[in-house]
Amino acid sequence: MMDEYQVPEGFRHYSGPSPAEDNIGPFFYRKLDDELLLGMRATDKHANGNGSVHGGVLLAFADYAVTMLALSGVSGETCVTVSLNSDFMAAAQLGDWVTGSGEVVRRTGSMTFVRGQLTVDDATVLSFQAVARRLKRRD
Protein backbone atom coordinates (compact mmCIF):
# COMPACT_ATOMS: atom_id res chain seq x y z
CA MET A 1 0.00 0.00 0.00
CA MET A 2 2.81 2.43 0.82
CA ASP A 3 4.29 2.16 -2.71
CA GLU A 4 0.88 2.38 -4.35
CA TYR A 5 0.24 5.76 -2.69
CA GLN A 6 3.83 7.04 -2.93
CA VAL A 7 3.92 7.71 0.80
CA PRO A 8 6.84 9.86 2.01
CA GLU A 9 9.37 8.20 4.28
CA GLY A 10 8.40 7.95 7.93
CA PHE A 11 4.63 7.95 7.42
CA ARG A 12 2.68 4.90 8.61
CA HIS A 13 -0.76 3.72 7.59
CA TYR A 14 -3.38 4.11 10.29
CA SER A 15 -5.95 1.37 10.30
CA GLY A 16 -8.07 1.05 13.33
CA PRO A 17 -11.54 1.36 14.69
CA SER A 18 -12.92 3.50 11.84
CA PRO A 19 -13.16 1.62 8.52
CA ALA A 20 -14.63 4.76 6.91
CA GLU A 21 -11.18 6.35 6.98
CA ASP A 22 -9.72 3.53 4.86
CA ASN A 23 -12.62 3.77 2.41
CA ILE A 24 -12.21 7.53 2.06
CA GLY A 25 -8.40 7.64 2.43
CA PRO A 26 -6.33 5.79 3.19
CA PHE A 27 -4.78 8.20 5.70
CA PHE A 28 -1.25 8.12 7.12
CA TYR A 29 0.59 9.65 10.07
CA ARG A 30 4.13 10.43 11.19
CA LYS A 31 5.15 11.25 14.75
CA LEU A 32 8.49 12.95 15.37
CA ASP A 33 9.19 14.02 18.95
CA ASP A 34 6.22 16.25 19.78
CA GLU A 35 5.14 16.85 16.18
CA LEU A 36 2.35 14.86 14.59
CA LEU A 37 1.87 15.08 10.82
CA LEU A 38 -0.97 13.44 8.87
CA GLY A 39 -0.95 12.65 5.19
CA MET A 40 -2.95 11.41 2.24
CA ARG A 41 -2.19 10.97 -1.46
CA ALA A 42 -4.93 12.41 -3.66
CA THR A 43 -5.94 9.77 -6.23
CA ASP A 44 -8.66 9.39 -8.84
CA LYS A 45 -11.13 8.11 -6.24
CA HIS A 46 -10.89 11.49 -4.45
CA ALA A 47 -11.87 13.55 -7.51
CA ASN A 48 -14.78 15.91 -7.86
CA GLY A 49 -16.43 16.82 -11.17
CA ASN A 50 -13.75 19.44 -11.84
CA GLY A 51 -10.87 16.97 -11.57
CA SER A 52 -9.53 18.29 -8.27
CA VAL A 53 -9.92 16.78 -4.78
CA HIS A 54 -13.52 16.75 -3.57
CA GLY A 55 -14.17 19.08 -0.63
CA GLY A 56 -15.88 16.27 1.27
CA VAL A 57 -12.70 14.19 1.10
CA LEU A 58 -10.70 17.12 2.49
CA LEU A 59 -13.24 17.55 5.30
CA ALA A 60 -13.03 13.83 6.15
CA PHE A 61 -9.23 14.13 6.21
CA ALA A 62 -9.50 17.23 8.44
CA ASP A 63 -11.77 15.26 10.80
CA TYR A 64 -9.16 12.49 10.92
CA ALA A 65 -6.53 15.13 11.73
CA VAL A 66 -8.71 16.54 14.52
CA THR A 67 -9.09 13.19 16.26
CA MET A 68 -5.44 12.21 15.82
CA LEU A 69 -4.28 15.57 17.19
CA ALA A 70 -6.80 15.45 20.05
CA LEU A 71 -5.58 11.99 21.10
CA SER A 72 -1.88 12.71 20.69
CA GLY A 73 -0.10 12.37 24.02
CA VAL A 74 -3.06 10.87 25.89
CA SER A 75 -3.87 7.25 26.65
CA GLY A 76 -6.93 5.31 27.69
CA GLU A 77 -9.36 7.45 25.76
CA THR A 78 -10.90 8.03 22.39
CA CYS A 79 -12.90 10.96 21.05
CA VAL A 80 -15.61 12.10 18.68
CA THR A 81 -15.79 15.37 16.81
CA VAL A 82 -18.66 17.56 18.00
CA SER A 83 -17.83 20.68 15.97
CA LEU A 84 -15.67 21.26 12.90
CA ASN A 85 -15.36 24.65 11.23
CA SER A 86 -13.31 25.00 8.08
CA ASP A 87 -12.29 27.40 5.35
CA PHE A 88 -11.25 26.21 1.91
CA MET A 89 -8.25 28.25 0.78
CA ALA A 90 -7.13 26.50 -2.44
CA ALA A 91 -7.78 23.35 -4.44
CA ALA A 92 -5.77 20.17 -3.98
CA GLN A 93 -5.01 18.37 -7.24
CA LEU A 94 -4.94 14.68 -8.04
CA GLY A 95 -1.48 13.32 -7.32
CA ASP A 96 -0.83 15.83 -4.52
CA TRP A 97 0.45 14.73 -1.11
CA VAL A 98 -1.83 16.55 1.32
CA THR A 99 -0.35 17.12 4.78
CA GLY A 100 -2.35 17.82 7.91
CA SER A 101 -0.89 19.50 10.97
CA GLY A 102 -2.14 21.43 13.96
CA GLU A 103 -2.21 21.81 17.68
CA VAL A 104 -4.32 21.25 20.75
CA VAL A 105 -5.33 24.71 21.89
CA ARG A 106 -6.99 23.60 25.12
CA ARG A 107 -7.96 20.38 26.85
CA THR A 108 -10.66 20.30 29.55
CA GLY A 109 -12.06 17.34 31.44
CA SER A 110 -14.56 16.58 28.68
CA MET A 111 -13.44 18.47 25.54
CA THR A 112 -10.35 19.06 23.42
CA PHE A 113 -10.05 22.18 21.26
CA VAL A 114 -7.93 21.79 18.11
CA ARG A 115 -6.87 24.02 15.24
CA GLY A 116 -4.89 23.17 12.16
CA GLN A 117 -4.49 23.17 8.43
CA LEU A 118 -4.17 20.96 5.40
CA THR A 119 -1.38 21.94 3.03
CA VAL A 120 0.13 20.94 -0.29
CA ASP A 121 3.78 21.90 -0.37
CA ASP A 122 3.71 25.34 1.29
CA ALA A 123 0.19 26.29 0.23
CA THR A 124 -2.72 26.05 2.69
CA VAL A 125 -5.63 24.14 1.17
CA LEU A 126 -7.95 24.18 4.16
CA SER A 127 -7.83 25.61 7.67
CA PHE A 128 -9.92 24.18 10.51
CA GLN A 129 -10.93 24.64 14.13
CA ALA A 130 -12.68 21.88 16.01
CA VAL A 131 -13.95 20.58 19.32
CA ALA A 132 -13.67 16.88 20.17
CA ARG A 133 -15.52 15.18 23.02
CA ARG A 134 -13.21 13.08 25.18
CA LEU A 135 -14.45 9.53 25.88
CA LYS A 136 -13.03 6.72 27.97
CA ARG A 137 -11.82 3.86 25.80
CA ARG A 138 -13.93 0.70 26.05
CA ASP A 139 -11.94 -2.50 26.43
Confidence grade of residue 2 (pLDDT, cut at 50, 70, 90):
low
Q: How far apart are CA 43 and CA 30, in angstroms?
A: 20
pLDDT at position 23 is 85
pTM, 2 dp: 0.93
- The CATH architecture assigned to 12-136 reads Roll (3.10)
Mean pLDDT of the chain: 92
pLDDT at position 20 is 86
* pLDDT tens per residue, range 72-99: 988 889 999 999 999 999 999 999 999 9
* pLDDT tens per residue, range 17-47: 678 888 888 999 999 888 999 999 999 999 9
Q: Please, are residues 102 and 119 in contact by the beta-carbon 8 Å criterion? A: no
Q: Please, are residues 110 and 133 in contact by the beta-carbon 8 Å criterion? A: yes
DSSP string, 67-123: HHHHHTT--SEEEEEEEEEEEE-SPPBTT-EEEEEEEEEEE-SSEEEEEEEEEETTE
Confidence grade of residue 14 (pLDDT, cut at 50, 70, 90):
confident
Would you say residue 1 has pLDDT above 70? no
Q: How far apart are CA 104 and CA 138, in angstroms?
A: 23
